[in-house]
Structure 1
């Protein structure tokens, strides 16, 4: 009998944000996201100038945990989740740790998308989900080997998850997803009439 192994695994971590840390109230976090978006004129201007649908604080605010205590609680929880993920990945950190590099809000309205991208200057990236109404888009993850598969046939319908070129993950409010930052990902069109709200982040090695 043939010995067939699955090599070069791409890990995806999924847990509840409040499994670690002091606890984060989902309604308070959603209200804080809207409050920040309303007051952040620099972020609004950046979104308009760059054709970004909805709102993101990525290019405007770098100190959310200092401004709002609830985001400090989010970071405390994320620190523990990222440490658990790093242990699972068996990273040799040489006595150093993974620390938060940046944290930002995403408010994606109906029809909004976030195109495929990676986070090349970080080790671990991820998102925690604040509002996911019915019809809100899942997270789309791409097989990192895809550019090398020039002559490969497509997979059969119903192929095993580890063989699919794209994986769609439908998170719930309060979930946190983590992946290695080189993994290409995107947010397809939000088909809900309500906003899809998330908080994304990067961790670097230092």
Structure 2
């Protein structure tokens, strides 16, 4: 008997790393600019975080970061064979998570791709946790988890790392158990002129059909 295994409906993630020698000065500059935006910092409850406005991609101080996102988005679009439909950044903002702060499970509606870039990460993490998108899951415990038996997957947070993922994929960030702040920049991407270029029917009409 011949057996074949086919993986249907994969959920890709794209992980891009800047060399540490380049990431260190780049992140120091980003951190300074983020601090300028939120200073003086308002008081937030324990477990909460600070966020900037969602317009960082329109600010000259973040032009180099915006260029990095756009280059990365084009590479992802080529992988997905959708490069004929140019994408734009619809929102870009910084997150500053002090110790004990976290992000609950969520996704990013009305976008095609989303991503996060890590500016500063405490020694104790935390990582970015993605949830299994399948609506029903029965996974008997085998003693060892794998991509085929787990209902969540962790992506390591590393300074200078960018992770891009489908916007519908639910994810969360556990509590910051470190002693320093976790600083990241999140962004969303959507097709320009989507209705005009990509939303038309994919079938051809034939006689007798409506």
Structure 1 and Structure 2 fold alike (TM over 0.5): yes
1:50-65 to structure 2, matched below 5 A, reads 53-57=48-52, 61-65=53-57
1:166-181 to structure 2, matched below 5 A, reads 166-181=152-167
Deviation string for 1:96-116 (max 9, x for gaps)?
311000000100011111000
Shift of 1:4: 1.2
Provide runs of 4+ in structure 1 moved above 6 Å.
Answer: none
SS at match of 1:90: coil
1:112 aligned to 2:101?
yes
Cα distance change of structure 1 residues 183 and 67 upon mapping to structure 2, 3 Å threshold: same
Aligned position for 1:2: 3
Does the 8 Å CA contact 2:49/2:102 hold for their aligned counterparts?
Answer: no
Shift of 1:52: 7.1
TM-score (norm 1): 0.82
Aligned position for 2:115: 126
Give the structure with the higher percent helix: 1
Unpaired segments ≥5 residues, structure 1 = none
Q: Aligned-residue CA RMSD in angstroms?
A: 2.4
TM-score (norm 2): 0.81
Structure ID, larger Rg: 2
Unpaired segments ≥5 residues, structure 2 = 193-210
- Residues of 1 paired with 2:10 and 2:3: CA distance? 20
Does the 8 Å CA contact 2:103/2:173 hold for their aligned counterparts?
Answer: yes
Aligned position for 1:184: 170
Shift of 1:141: 0.4
Does the 8 Å CA contact 2:119/2:160 hold for their aligned counterparts?
Answer: yes
Aligned position for 1:200: 186
1:1-206 to structure 2, matched below 5 A, reads 1-17=2-18, 25-39=26-40, 44=42, 53-57=48-52, 61-69=53-61, 71-91=62-82, 95-145=84-134, 147-149=135-137, 152-206=138-192
